[in-house]
């Protein structure tokens, strides 16, 4: 038994889980082309959820703050991206690939910038007065969520908003009998790029070192003379910006967004963070990929179970590892 587990660990340990699920799904689905389409969809969805979850997880790991208002950044990001794309309709619909991509990048950038600014405001005004008081933190971020959702309704109204998708990213890539939506590839690549950037920033830079040290032991970092509150605000802004970026990508992916989207995604994000373990980027990525893959496979195989499947996954993983698969902090 120990021999098997040591072998498993050498080949990646818990990182093998998505592979195992993909293999199991392959056996159940039986049609390779369908399986590839579903897997790509799952990976793309996972990457977008990863964008939203990583910020939440990092904020929690460093600051011990669980922001229930995180989904507000996601929704605002989605709607700002939609408005930007609508404003740049000429670029989006044009034939020039460069302008197409520029419009999308601009939309994502606008959402991200807004996320960072809103994160700054949120940290200063909402969260700062209630550090180290979990009960009031939960209450106050819920209050902020209510206000943000109502503002969203007041500004954009309750009706679904159509999101124009850039022309280059429309349609699918066809390899053999496998059709892959181009947007999904784009979403996956963007997510991967963000992950690599975060991994690099956390592991190879001085600020990353400080953040990791802060996650592990905040008092010690403070005692060594570093201004941890500045670090806090930076991480909070980055986390919120990532959430808004994820929301913007999600808006383009869905094509039609409603103000309820933040709340719906939030459940997935929470499940991802719980599965992955609070405070770790790797855990968030793993959890997000698992949830994305499972959601797509189950939606195909047993359509009625789709959300319950993620819940089930969470229950099983919690029973196996009460603190998640890759927790950065214990307890």
Partner 1 sequence: MSDQSITSPSAIPDTRRRVPAGRLIVYAVALAIALCLAFAPFLFPDVRAQEVAARICVFIVLVASYDLLIGYTGIVSFAHTMFFGLGAYGTAMMLKAWGPGFDAIMIGGGLGVAAALVLAVLIGLLSLRVKAIFFAMVTLAAASVMMVLANQLSDFTGGEDGFTYQVPRLFSPAFKLVTDADGKVLRLFDVPLNGKIAAYYFVFLGCLVLFLAMMRIVASPMGTVLQAVRENELRAEAIGYRVVSYRTAIFCISAVIAALAGVLRAVWLKYVGPEVVLSFAIMIDILLMVVIGGMGTLVGALIGVVLMSLAQFYLKDVMEIAAEATAGVPLLPDLLNPDRWLLWLGLLFILLVYFFPAGIAGTLMKKGHHR
Q: Which of 106, 138, 201, 213 binds partner 1 (CB under 8 A)?
A: 138
Distance of CA 327 to the CA centre of its chain: 17
Told to check if 308 binds partner 1 by CB under 8 A, we report: yes
Residues 107-136 that bind partner 1 (CB under 8 A): 126, 129-130, 134-136
Give the whole-angstrom CA distance, residue 227 versus residue 237. 16
**Count of all residues that appear for the chain in the document:** 331
Between residues 68 and 236, which has the closer beta carbon with respect to partner 1? 68
Q: Which stretch binds partner 1 (CB under 8 A): 4-12, 13-21, 220-228, 272-280?
A: 272-280
Give the whole-angstrom CA distance, residue 138 versus residue 64. 11
Contact 76, 148 (CB under 8 A): yes
Question: Minimum CB separation from partner 1 for residue 36, in Å?
Answer: 28
Between residues 120 and 323, which has the closer beta carbon with respect to partner 1? 323
Question: Minimum CB separation from partner 1 for residue 129, in Å?
Answer: 6
Q: Which of 142, 193, 207, 256 binds partner 1 (CB under 8 A)?
A: 142
* Residues contacting partner 1: total by CB under 8 A: 40
Residues 50-109 that bind partner 1 (CB under 8 A): 60, 66, 68
Contact 136, 61 (CB under 8 A): no
Told to check if 29 binds partner 1 by CB under 8 A, we report: no
Residue 306 tokens, joined? 């789709």
Told to check if 316 binds partner 1 by CB under 8 A, we report: no
Phi (first) and psi of residue 181, to 5 degrees: -65, 135
Q: Which of 30, 90, 176, 322 binds partner 1 (CB under 8 A)?
A: 322
Residues 6+ apart with CB under 8 A from 274: 287, 314, 317, 318, 324
Contact 325, 276 (CB under 8 A): yes
Contact 77, 247 (CB under 8 A): yes
Told to check if 26 binds partner 1 by CB under 8 A, we report: no
Question: Minimum CB separation from partner 1 for residue 240, in Å?
Answer: 18
Give the whole-angstrom CA distance, residue 222 versus residue 72. 31
Q: What is the DSSP string of 31-60?
A: -HHHHHHHHHHHHHHHHHHHHHHHHHHHHH
Between residues 173 and 316, which has the closer beta carbon with respect to partner 1? 316
Residue 90: CB atoms within 10 A of its CB come to 9
Residues 146-205 that bind partner 1 (CB under 8 A): 146-147, 150-151, 153-155
Q: Tell me which residues touch partner 1 (CB under 8 A).
A: 60, 66, 68, 126, 129-130, 134-136, 138-140, 142-144, 146-147, 150-151, 153-155, 263, 267, 270-271, 273-274, 278, 304, 307-308, 311, 314-315, 318-319, 322-323, 331
């Amino acid at each position: 038994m120990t021999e098997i587990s040591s072998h498993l660990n050498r080949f990646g340990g818990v990182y093998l889980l998505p592979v195992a699920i993909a293999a199991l799904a392959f056996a159940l689905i039986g049609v390779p082309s369908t399986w590839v389409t579903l897997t790509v969809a799952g990976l793309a969805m996972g990457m977008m959820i990863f964008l939203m979850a990583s910020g939440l997880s990092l904020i929690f790991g460093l600051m011990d703050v669980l922001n229930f208002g995180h989904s507000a950044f996601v929704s605002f990001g989605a709607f700002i991206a939609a408005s930007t794309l609508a404003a740049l309709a000429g670029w989006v619909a044009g034939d020039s690939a460069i302008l197409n991509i520029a419009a999308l990048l601009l939309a994502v950038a606008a959402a991200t910038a807004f996320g960072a600014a809103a994160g700054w405001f949120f940290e200063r005004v909402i969260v700062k007065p209630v550090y180290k008081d979990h009960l009031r933190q939960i209450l106050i971020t819920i209050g902020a969520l209510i206000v943000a959702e109502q503002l969203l309704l007041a500004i954009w109204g309750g009706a679904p908003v159509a999101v124009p998708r850039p022309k280059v990213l429309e349609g699918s890539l066809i390899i053999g009998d496998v059709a892959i939506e181009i947007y999904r590839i784009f979403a996956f690549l963007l997510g991967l790029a963000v992950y690599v950037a975060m991994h690099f920033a956390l592991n190879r830079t001085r600020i990353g070192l400080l953040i990791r040290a802060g996650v592990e032991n905040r008092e010690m970092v403070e005692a060594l003379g570093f201004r941890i509150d500045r670090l806090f605000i930076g991480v909070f802004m980055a986390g919120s910006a990532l959430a808004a970026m994820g929301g913007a990508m999600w808006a383009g992916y869905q094509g039609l967004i409603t103000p309820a989207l933040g709340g719906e995604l939030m459940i997935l994000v929470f499940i991802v963070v719980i599965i992955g373990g609070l405070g770790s980027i790797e855990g968030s990525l793993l959890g997000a990929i698992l949830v994305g893959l499972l959601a797509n496979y189950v939606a195909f195989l047993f359509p009625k179970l789709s959300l319950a499947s993620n819940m089930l996954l969470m229950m099983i993983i919690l029973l196996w590892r009460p603190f998640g698969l890759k927790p950065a902090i214990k307890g």
